[in-house]
Amino acid sequence: MTYVDKILEPGETVRYRTTLSWTVYANGICIGLAALIAAYGGVKLAVPSFQLLAAALALIALVALAFAHLKRASTEIAVTDRRIIFKRGLIRRHTVEMNMQKVESVDVDQTLLGRLFDYGDVTVRGVGSSFERLDFIDAPLKLRSTVTAG
């Protein structure tokens, strides 16, 4: 059972769920590709130091991918008919909940790559000066339209 499912109030329904974009794996993927290139160079050129470099890069890539997976798996974002819920963290948890009546605006920032791969940064501003910035969110325009649709 997810965090959002545990804290739903009686009669409250989830209208939209999202998480971090798959692009959080990009660093690990790039390091893994560098490991493959080093391994290929080590085999083709018969240079042992390239093979050692490939092994080190592969280990770093696996660690980076594992951290990215934990970060993505431990992040929940949901829009219900009453509030916006954001939870991040596995052992140390950070949660933010904002009532829909308190939402003043929802801003979306997308780079060119963000538009191509459908991810971006979302800033939810509440009445007063409170706001929460959510980085690397999958389908940020869908999140914004769900919140602003009422």
Q: Is 131 among the domain residues?
A: yes
Q: What is the pLDDT of residue 59?
A: 97
Domain count, the chain: 2
For residues 142 and 85, membership in a common domain is answered with yes
CATH number at residue 125: 2.30.29
Q: What is the pLDDT along the chain (150 residues), one digit of tens a residue?
A: 889 999 999 999 999 999 999 999 999 999 999 999 999 987 888 777 888 999 999 999 999 999 999 999 999 999 999 999 999 998 899 898 888 888 888 999 999 999 999 999 999 888 876 677 889 999 999 999 998 886
Is the pTM higher than 0.75?
Answer: yes
Has residue 87 been placed in a domain?
yes
Contacts of 17 (CB under 8 A, 6+ apart): 4, 76, 77, 78, 79
Q: Specify if 9 maps to a domain.
A: no
Question: What order do you get walking across the sheet with 119-126 strand by strand?
Answer: 103-109, 119-126, 131-138
Residue 55 lies in a domain: yes
pLDDT for the residue 129: 62
Question: Which residues form the domain of 107?
Answer: 15-21+77-148
Q: Give the ranges where the chain is alpha helix by DSSP (H).
A: 3-7, 26-45, 48-73, 112-117, 140-148
Whether residues 101 and 141 share a domain: the answer is yes
- On whether both 54 and 99 belong to a single domain, the answer is no
Beta carbons of 1 and 23 less than 8 angstroms apart: no
| Pair (87, 128) in one structural domain | yes
Q: Cα–chain-centroid distance for residue 124?
A: 16
Long-range contacts of 35-44 (CB under 8 A, 24+ apart): 35/60, 35/61
Residues 51 and 90 in one domain: no
Residue 87's pLDDT is 93
Residue 7: inside a domain: no
State whether 142 and 81 are in the same domain. Answer: yes
Quick one: 49 and 103 in the same domain? Answer: no
Residues 130 and 85 both lie in one domain = yes
Assigned domain for 122 exists: yes
